[in-house]
Homo-oligomer: A and B are copies of this chain.
């Protein structure tokens, strides 16, 4: 074992920044390795392939976020009887913002990566996420369903995917949107402000009575 200031980490840091900004397929390994100031071949040496690098970038965040978010929801469900949808969504805000302590711009990078992942990948990332973090996801889905018992399961399926779309799309284009908002409305939002804006929107949509 021998290395300088960790080639592997340099690659991950450069890759996550570029992936979040430009998407996965629009980011070449040559661009990543030049930004990271490492050799091109070191990606395949340390990660095997570009696909596995993408998974590693996401895993570095998911391994931190998922357990914390899960724990929040567990305590929320055990403490009060009947947590509202707003409570559930809001309980994810702090774990998300804590990612900024992990790395600079951690929160928005993570959310943008998540968005890119769901939009771009034709399967391998969906598979990776559901097999590695499936329990946390089903737990979250169950908590939401319990909070809106008047919504039939099939309807809830659709609404949760509507919600996913809202979040994913918003976060993937959050930078552009905050710029426009600043120019047009003199509103200067950070990622937390956007998150706090979207939660009431989601809660209202998910829980609106059918018919």
| A198 near B162: Cβ-Cβ < 8 Å | yes
Which A132-182 residues sit within 8 Å CB-CB of chain B?
Answer: 153-155, 157-159, 161-170, 172-173, 177, 180-181
| B185 near A154: Cβ-Cβ < 8 Å | yes
Complex interface: chain B residues within 8 A of A206 (CB): 201
| A161 near B172: Cβ-Cβ < 8 Å | no
Chain B CB within 8 A of A197 CB = yes
| B157 near A184: Cβ-Cβ < 8 Å | yes
Chain A 172-211, CB-CB to B under 8 Å as 1, else 0, gives: 1100010011001101000000100110111111111010
Measured in the bound complex, the distance between the Cα atoms of B109 and A159 in whole Å is 22
Which A78-114 residues sit within 8 Å CB-CB of chain B?
Answer: none
**Number of identical monomers bound together in the oligomeric complex:** 2
Of B165, B173, B180, B204, which is within 8 A of A208 by CB? Answer: B204
Complex interface: chain B residues within 8 A of A157 (CB): 180-181, 184-185
For A, the interface residue count at a CB cutoff of 8 angstroms equals: 43
Complex interface: chain B residues within 8 A of A118 (CB): 169
Chain B CB within 8 A of A25 CB = yes
Complex interface: chain B residues within 8 A of A198 (CB): 158, 162
Q: Which residue in chain B gives the minimum CB-CB distance to A126?
A: B176
| B204 near A155: Cβ-Cβ < 8 Å | no
| B162 near A166: Cβ-Cβ < 8 Å | yes
Chain B CB within 8 A of A41 CB = no
Chain B CB within 8 A of A119 CB = yes
**Given A157-B184, A161-B170, A161-B173, 6 further pairs, Cβ under 8 A:** A119-B119, A154-B187, A158-B197, A162-B166, A201-B205, A202-B205
